[in-house]
Structure 1
Amino acid sequence: MKIVSIIPARYDSMRFPGKLMQQLGDITVILRTYQNVVATGLFDEVLVATDSDLIFKEISDNGGRALMTRRDHQCGSDRIAEAASGTEADIVINVQGDEPFVDGDSLKKLIEVFKDDPKKEIALASLMTPLHEAEEVENPSVVKVIVDLNNFALYFSRSPIPFDRDNEQSPPYYKHVGVYAFRKQALIEFSEQEMTPLESAEKIECIRYLEHGKKIKMVETLKLNFGIDTPKDLERAKAHLKQLNSE
């Protein structure tokens, strides 16, 4: 089973343009993400799929592999589908370019989903982590996910889900971590579909998969991950990196 990680890296982020080229410690966000994924040793190949000459040069000049892709992709998974079409991958792991602290143990758990699925019943898996702070539950930048009793996703939203109507319980809240693992053919089929209504409303790409009646296996991780969506997130990431370096 050939397992490839492809990191989508769009330069013109809506909320934080150029964020992937911001400094995080002594290197850029995108280079730190790339190097951390390579360092896990889990993948037969790691590459960055980008629409930016700057990002392409940043990765290539530092010994990595980058691929230029079209600029008109609707989401990161569409971008990696273009890149994956030229590989011999069986499983493609989409690690977001703005997730510089992605954890190797979490990625290994995702890979094991497919190794433990000889009948190939699971075509897409992703990560989630418990939320404990009300501020994060209410924050629309934090994507929440609710799952069924077998940890298959029921829905993703920027709204607080589930809603505790009577305020008498403390239901579990989970944050969706933006890492996806696809069987290659499922990824290609995903990218050939148009953006769906709920996906368009929430701006959450994996909802497209649910709207087509497909299942997404969610894997829980307790490891801390930082998605950098805003300048404030970048400051938090810098503080986290400083803490890691002092340990």
Structure 2
Amino acid sequence: MKIIFAGTPEFAATALAALLKTSHQIIAVYTQPDRKSGRGQKLTPSPVKQLALEHGLPVYQPLNFKASTEDGLAARQELAALGADVMVVAAYGLILPQAVLDTPKYGCLNIHGSLLPRWRGAAPIQRAIATGDAETGITVMQMAAGLDTGDMMYKTYCPITAEDTSASLHDKLALQGAEAICTVLESEQSLQDFIEKREVQDEALTVYAHKLVKAEARIDWTVNAVQIDRNIRAFNPWPVAFIQLDENNALRVWGSMLS
């Protein structure tokens, strides 16, 4: 099948790397525009862009897909002209309007790092650890215009250990996500079968994983030790838990151990 891939960070790059090993044709890669990073504030390509360029894949970096903007309208037309069978989306970071979701023959599939409908939103890995969930996983869904509201096609499960940080759990789920999307896309027939058997999300079970803010990482000594430990692990590697020593000084806490 002809696949468009859309993603930005390492989580997405892991999935792209797996798809590149299949017989499918990756006809285009979409990723966020290069960002300034590091002390020198140099423009840096995303992990997905770096991988795509290494494999000689065409890379597109539109600012948006809004029909109300000249750039967005051009991006829509450009994507439609590719004639993709399916578009795979993983942590892309741009909103895809329904017109874009409907463009590929089989629509757009999203790799989400939680067991939907639990932990819809931007920080599912961190929220699962901070809340003390015993397990999480990957959901491959058919995308809809709402925030992670699409019908579920395939799930894999991953236990959360007492030692897991967001970094370690991210790496586990990235690999699971890569395996999951390859399972769904094993063949055109398998994709059709998964689409036919897809499951509507139960809205009554919805929990949102709101975006992290740095202030959350300040250690609150009024909560119990178990919760402090969860928060320290959840906020590693970002924004990193900290103890405020005084007005100008803080101590970062990267790990903890319960006794």
Look at both structures and tell me which one has the larger radius of gyration over its CA atoms.
Answer: 2
**TM-score interval for Structure 1 and Structure 2 normalised by the shorter chain:** 0.3 to 0.5
Larger RCO: 1 or 2 (CA < 8 Å, sep 6+): 1
TM-score scaled by length of structure 1: 0.36
